[in-house]
Structure 1
Amino acid sequence: MQSVDALDILMNLKNTRPYYQPIISADSHNIYGYEVLGRIKTEQGVKSLGSFFHDSHVPNEYKREVDEHLVKIALEEFLSHNQDAALFLNINPNIIMEDTGERFVRMLSSYQDQGLRLDQIVIEITEHEYRGDISRLAHLIRYLQTLGIKIALDDVAKGSSNLDRIGILEPDLFKIDIHSLNYNEKTISHHGVLYSLSHLARKIGADLIFQGIETVHQLHDSLRQHGRYFQGYFLAGPERSFLPVDHFKDRFREAVHQFILHERTKIQRRYNLANELNNRIHLALKETKKQTNLDNWMVAIAHQISDCCFRIYICDQDGFQQTSNGVLQKDKWVLHSEYKGKNWSWRPYFMENIFRMNDEQKGILSDIYSDIETGELIRTFSYPLNTRLYLFMDLPHSFLYEHDIIAW
């Protein structure tokens, strides 16, 4: 869509209006709030002001004038409709830091006598667009939060977002574009970034908002990543009016029900596979005589499970590898002795899984991950041989695909 000239916008402020895009809550299935988006009416139709606000060549004073005009209209309409929802306002961090937020807070405070509660306001800031000292921005955020205003970091999985900087800012909400979830074998790092963001959000007490949702599958992906709030054209586009709080309740509930059914099926498949592997290892141990030479014992076990495993090894409870790596190559198990003695206790969940295996006396199927050596998506099944030794077998992508448990 062709952008509108900055001067044309300033000279036609009367034609600019705020539009409101609903944000839906996962826990209530109601409208949690609205994002305010600028639009201008032209002879060619209604156009977005997004390019105007993101154009680095447009002076900040122009942007501030248009933004304040839109925010004031939005606040007046918000209050006149007695909204109990949240109102999301996009704020350029470089502009608000010019006076450390004084002008913005003064404007909001002027509406408190008309019934505005500051805890209804959510400020959206794009962290990686900020060019100043991050500690000064963090100080302003703390001040705004003491007033009850919530802070949402926008596009945290895009641009040059830095987890350390995000951690310093400690926002109330992370806003993630759903298109960051479109990963495959070549873009698997996206999943790792999203997992890290989800983990960081949980640690600092922030919630996740997923935006740009255009299909039910994207909504399901967002739920799978532990999103709490959702926004996008699948639910509703920006409109000039507000909606009843439960407008999307039935539709959203049905979409969540479909997601739950799908996830239950996936979880059941994983449990079934874990039980199958437990039974197979248990049977293999019965049919295989334990040997003093652990490599020989491991290979004897490996021959019983060659159809589902491409790498196998044994570690002790402290993570030290007691055997070579057994690798299936052209239908033969080949030993790689250079791995013997290596320590794997630093791997995620290693010590926790050792404790679980001892406590539950059964094997554990890992999450899916990208194998360092092959680059394939694999899972690892670990099994307690006794109270000292633990068998680890890596399941290839082809086996996981066959059992339909390749998804995250």
Structure 2
Amino acid sequence: MLQPIFSVEEQNVVAYESLGRIRDERGVLTVVPEFLDPTVSAHRMSEIDRVLLQVALQRIQNTNDQLFVNMSPDQVILEYEESRGNTLPIADIVKQYGIPLNQIVIEITEKSGSFGTDVLAAGVELLREQGFGIALDDVGSESSNLERLGAIKPDIIKIDLNILKKSIEKREYQSILEYLKQISLSIGSQLLFEGIESEKELYQAVSSGASLLQGYFLGRPQEYNEDKKIICDLVSPQLQKYHETKRKEVAKEIELEKLIKTKLMSLSLKTIQLDNRVIIDPHSFFKLDPAIKRVYVTDWQGTQVSPYYERTSDSGFVENMSFLQKNWSYMPFFYKHVKQVFRDEKNWQVSDPYWDKTLKKNVIVFSHVNEMGFSFFVDLVLEDSK
């Protein structure tokens, strides 16, 4: 059976994953029994997979659709051991159907293998040299690891469906998705989110950087369907709604930033230096807007030189001395602040949102350098933060 894979970039079905499914006596699709048996050898699994591959190749023959084919780490090594000259067995099978090898994506499963990561990476490199695309399945599941991800450097990272589902309700899992998104950008991989079963999960996937989508919401495993219009008519309007929602969110964020910057520009950023400590007027900041929660000052190297002023009520705040001399340069917003100051030293700058564990809110940081060279940082919480 083949399950469609939708490209957000091309707004169309561009690939299918070959899934080992058979119909029981009632006509219900079930997984091939051997796939659920951990005692089945890599040789036997390869025999089954090669039969399924030939069935799938017949379906996509004379099309431009990519085909995703599952392969365990041990099967990758078996391909090398059974190779003849420079050609791998799977390459010989694909060539028989006149299909270019770059039309096939080898999806490395999350199963642990009998060999180390270095050996697996060498086997994957042979597949890549033949022309196959490489995907890494179920990234984020318990058995997957960053070492395998870094060693293989897949063309496509498939996100474990459980992380996608949990990320909708739990902030911690949203952070994991953001982390995987950054990894994919750093190694040049696409993100494929599988297991999408609802509109909400589709939105979460696209928001988390998905360029490829897969799941029952888009289409169930089937023999093969050349008519992709049904899926496009379903998904394209959903993506349009997503983009409209994001544009409204961006417009709202820009309006907030303009409002806060205007208020902050009205302040005089006076500082009084006493030895290694800097004194400011925190009350002038807190009365500007109730969403402002913290104010502090650092030197040019990011070392905090003022007390940490934290809001306690509508009009009250506390002076926290424990953060004096703490260096904040490791925070992602600090050197972005430095870069922005070089670009435009006259205006207040603003960071991207980040999750603050103490406030349990999304926070943006406004920053500015006064004439004495001290950096003012103002933490503001965003509405509707979970």
Specify if TM > 0.5.
yes
Q: Does 1:22 align with 2:19?
A: no
Counterpart contact for 1:313–1:391, Cα < 8 Å? yes
Q: Deviations over 1:136-169 (max 9, x none)?
A: 1111111111111011000112123222321111
For residue 108 of structure 2, what is the aligned residue in structure 1? 125
Matches within 5 A, 1:156-175: 156-175=139-158
For residue 362 of structure 2, what is the aligned residue in structure 1? 378
CA distance in 1, matches of 2:185, 2:81: 28
Shift of 1:357: 3.5
Matches within 5 A, 1:162-311: 162-183=145-166, 187-283=170-266, 285-286=267-268, 296-305=279-288, 307-311=290-294
Counterpart contact for 2:265–2:348, Cα < 8 Å? no
Shift of 1:300: 3.1
- One-letter amino acid of the structure 1 residue matched with residue 365 of structure 2: F
Q: Which runs of no fewer than 5 residues in structure 2 stay unpaired? A: none
CA distance in 2, matches of 1:298, 1:392: 13
Matched position secondary structure for 1:154: strand
- One-letter amino acid of the structure 2 residue matched with residue 165 of structure 1: R
Shift of 1:333: 1.7
* Aligned alpha-carbon RMSD (Å): 2.6
For residue 15 of structure 1, what is the aligned residue in structure 2? none
Matched position secondary structure for 2:280: helix
Aligned length, in residue pairs: 378
Shift of 1:194: 1.9
From 37, 40, 65, give the equivalent of 1:58: 40
What is the TM-score normalised by the length of structure 2? 0.88
Q: Does 1:347 align with 2:331?
A: yes
CA distance in 2, matches of 1:56, 1:195: 33
Counterpart contact for 1:185–1:376, Cα < 8 Å? no
Matches within 5 A, 1:126-145: 126-127=109-110, 129-145=112-128
Q: Does 1:71 align with 2:56?
A: no
Shift of 1:251: 3.2
- One-letter amino acid of the structure 2 residue matched with residue 386 of structure 1: N
CA distance in 1, matches of 2:256, 2:81: 56
Over the matched positions of the two proteins, sequence identity in percent amounts to 28
Matched position secondary structure for 1:339: coil
Higher helix share: 1
- Structure 2 CA distance for partners of 1:241 and 1:52, relative to 1, 3 Å: same
From 336, 360, 369, give the equivalent of 2:354: 369
- Structure 2 CA distance for partners of 1:289 and 1:173, relative to 1, 3 Å: closer
Q: Deviations over 1:23-75 (max 9, x none)?
A: 11112112111001111222233232166414313344443332222122222
- Structure 2 CA distance for partners of 1:241 and 1:367, relative to 1, 3 Å: same
- Structure 2 CA distance for partners of 1:38 and 1:248, relative to 1, 3 Å: same
For residue 391 of structure 1, what is the aligned residue in structure 2? 376
Counterpart contact for 2:22–2:32, Cα < 8 Å? no
Counterpart contact for 1:101–1:140, Cα < 8 Å? no
Q: Which runs of no fewer than 5 residues in structure 1 stay unpaired? A: 1-18
